[in-house]
């Protein structure tokens, strides 16, 4: 049995679904169910006895202690995090509390549990911390992609909080011997992505006839990773990763944001044409850039391929088509997550940006 934190969010839910599709090892799924945590992501597991869902906070020491004592997991996979840069700009405190303080409490509780295990179980235990490429800062055009030895240079409250959590995980390995693994991934996309992020926001707005807001000139470059490829990489690191090591996970897909929006529009033109036969590109609206917007991220994923034999199965072309089709096929899911709070957030974030 493994304990997954943040397993009702976008990446966490995909991981839980893929994990249980790959093997019969049970999952304890601990999620606070904030705005991005959604039990509808896990509806396929509603009657599956291998999936034990618990609503709660990683910072709740008593709850985590109880779960560890009751279920004796052989590993903890930590997805729990506040993860949206724009939200961190408007309200950084939540990011400090969850990503730093929450990770600290989780590490302390797990360390106490691990210390009390029998020697064989202690040696087999793993704590896998899921992080982001944003901790490395921004790259200029032509600079080498982020390797695992790149200096941390976070530029937003979100990336700074994740960098701090990474350092805590590293420290608990070197100070206490806790058997940790850390992964730093590039931009994920795919099913169950909350529609505040670029790709699902473009799909949802396009279908609703709304503007497609593109920050600045749209030339911010990211490496894009299909979420199910990320899940397979995490399984690989959990099974074969070297203790204390960091593994960068990327899709080898550097794309400018505007190119992503154009691709989404082209696919929608093919799969769900507008009634007036015009392209969805006509809905693109350039808006004022967000503060401190990093210009380029790129992941060098050679280490995980060379040492552990992992590489992505999807190209961007195959992954983005699957993603757009999923949103077309799951309009009820989209409408359900668009709560009043979500609409207020979008209005707050983009109010006054039109230009």
Marked catalytic residue, from 57, 82, 86, 134: 134
Tell me if residue 121 is catalytic. no
DSSP letter, residue 98: I
Which strands make up the sheet holding 187-189, listed edge to edge? 187-189, 221-226, 254-256
Question: If 0-12 CB within 10 Å is exposed, 13-18 middle and 19+ buried, where does residue 37 land?
Answer: buried
Q: Of all residues in the chain, what percent are helix, strand and coil, respectively (each to 5)?
A: 50, 15, 35
Tell me if residue 40 is catalytic. no
309 in the Ramachandran plot: left (φ > 0), alpha (ψ -120 to 50) or beta? Answer: left
- Reduced to 3 states (helix: H, G, I; strand: E, B; else coil), residue 302 is helix
Could you tell me if 8 and 81 are in contact, meaning their C-beta atoms sit under 8 angstroms apart? no
Token digits of residue 293: 């917007």
Residue 128 CB contacts under 8 Å (≥ 6 apart), including other chains? 75, 76, 77, 78, 180, 181, 182, 183, 234, 237, 238, 241
Tell me if residue 134 is catalytic. yes
Torsion angle defined by CA atoms of residues 201, 203, 208 and 209, in that order, rounded to the nearest 10 degrees: 100
CB-CB neighbours of 249 under 10 Å: 27
Marked catalytic residue, from 158, 192, 280, 327: 158
Burial 139-163 (b: 16+ CB within 10 A, else e): beeeeebbebebebebbbbbbbbbb
209 in the Ramachandran plot: left (φ > 0), alpha (ψ -120 to 50) or beta? Answer: left
- C-alpha span between 8 and 188 (Å, rounded): 16
- C-alpha span between 22 and 19 (Å, rounded): 5
Marked catalytic residue, from 57, 133, 294, 314: 133
Token digits of residue 312: 């992505």
Catalytic residue numbers read 133-134, 158
């Amino acid at each position: 049995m493994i304990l997954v934190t943040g397993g009702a969010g976008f990446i966490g839910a995909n991981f839980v679904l893929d994990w249980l599709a790959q093997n019969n090892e049970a999952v304890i799924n601990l999620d606070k169910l904030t705005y991005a945590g959604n039990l509808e992501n896990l509806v396929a597991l509603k009657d599956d006895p291998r999936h034990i869902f618990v609503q709660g906070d990683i910072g709740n020491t008593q709850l985590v202690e109880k779960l560890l004592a009751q279920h004796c997991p052989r590993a903890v996979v930590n997805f729990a995090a506040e993860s949206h840069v724009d939200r961190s700009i408007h309200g950084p405190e939540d990011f400090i509390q969850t990503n730093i303080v929450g990770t600290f409490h989780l590490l302390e509780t797990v360390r106490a549990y691990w210390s009390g295990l029998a020697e064989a179980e202690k040696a087999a235990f793993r704590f896998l911390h899921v992080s982001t490429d944003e901790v490395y800062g921004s790259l200029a055009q032509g600079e080498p992609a982020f390797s695992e030895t790149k200096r941390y240079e976070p530029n937003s409250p979100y990336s700074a909080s994740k960098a701090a959590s990474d350092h805590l995980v590293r420290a608990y390995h070197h100070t206490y011997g806790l058997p940790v693994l850390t992964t730093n991934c590039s931009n994920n996309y795919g099913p169950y992505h909350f529609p505040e992020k670029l790709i699902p926001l473009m799909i949802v707005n396009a279908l609703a006839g709304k503007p497609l807001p593109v920050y600045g000139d749209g030339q911010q470059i990211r490496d894009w990773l299909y979420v199910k490829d990320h899940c397979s990489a995490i399984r690989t690191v959990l099974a074969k990763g070297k203790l204390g090591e960091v593994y960068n996970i990327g899709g080898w897909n550097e794309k400018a944001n505007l190119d992503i929006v154009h691709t989404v529009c082209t696919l929608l033109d093919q799969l769900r044409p507008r009634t007036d036969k015009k392209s969805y590109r006509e809905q693109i609206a350039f808006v004022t850039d967000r503060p401190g917007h990093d210009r380029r991220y790129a992941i060098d994923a050679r280490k995980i391929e060379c040492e552990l034999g992992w590489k992505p199965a999807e190209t961007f072309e195959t992954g983005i088509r699957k993603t757009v089709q999923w949103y077309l096929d799951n309009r009820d899911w989209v409408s359900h997550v668009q709560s009043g709070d979500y609409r207020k957030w979008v209005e707050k974030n983009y109010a006054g940006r039109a230009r």
